[in-house]
Amino acid sequence: METADSKNTGIKSYDRIILHPINGVLAQSEKRQQMQGMPSVSLVIGSRVYQTRDLSGGYRRPKWNDIFECEIRDTTLIRVVLWDFDDCGKPTTIGEGSISGNDIKSKGKDCFWVEIFDSTKKKVAKVLFDGEYVSADKPGKSTMNTGYIGYSQGGATYPQIN
């Protein structure tokens, strides 16, 4: 969306989302019992990757305290990748899910679950998010308490996400 300022500078202003992965609930499995720590969440938006830090809660119910602010369009698809290190210390994808920018826009400011599926399309987890959609038409301060704001790591991260 173009605003008066963007017409003068040539910079387009996009809508923003603020996402806080709060916690996850993971199904028990033999493979996941061999993982080393607490799962992390990576949000993949185009070529940008935002990644949580391990925090607390244990393996089956991990909790995170990271908040990510991202520019998006309605058609933007946000991939949610849940991963951990295996028993050899190699980053391993547990599963992934997704949500569209339009879905977040329709929720406004709300909490919602994203279901996570493994490579065989079996549901293996779900991740609870607190999200807020901020329109470029109405710039202003978010109502979300941002606390720690994570930043895009771009390109490669753990695991390699393509």
Tens digits of per-residue pLDDT, 109-135? 889 999 999 999 999 999 999 998 888
Q: Give the pTM.
A: 0.75
What pLDDT is recorded for position 148? 41
What is the domain partition of the chain in residue ranges?
A: 14-137
Question: For the chain, where are the alpha helices, taking DSSP H only?
Answer: 4-9, 30-33, 101-107
What pLDDT is recorded for position 78? 92
Q: What are phi and psi of 132, to 5 degrees?
A: -145, 135
Regarding predicted confidence, which is higher, 21 or 156?
A: 21
The answer to whether residue 147 scores a pLDDT higher than 50 is no
DSSP 61: S
Class of domain 14-137: mainly beta
Q: Which of 12-26, 29-43, 128-142 has the highest mean pLDDT?
A: 12-26
**Cα(144)–Cα(26) distance, integer angstroms:** 26
Q: In this predicted structure, which of 67-81, 83-97, 102-116, 143-157 has the lowest mean pLDDT?
A: 143-157
Strand ordering across the sheet containing 91-100: 48-51, 40-45, 77-85, 91-100, 109-117, 123-134, 15-26, 66-72, 148-150
Please give the average per-residue pLDDT across 79-91, as a whole number.
Answer: 83
**Cα(3)–Cα(7) distance, integer angstroms:** 6
Regarding predicted confidence, which is higher, 53 or 141?
A: 53
pLDDT 10s digits, 40-69: 899 998 888 999 876 776 777 888 888 998
What pLDDT is recorded for position 154? 40
Please give the average per-residue pLDDT across 81-105, as a whole number.
Answer: 86
DSSP 144: S
- The pairs formed by 28-34 with CB atoms below 8 angstroms and a separation of 24 or more are 28/60, 29/124, 32/59, 32/84, 32/94, 32/124, 34/86, 34/87
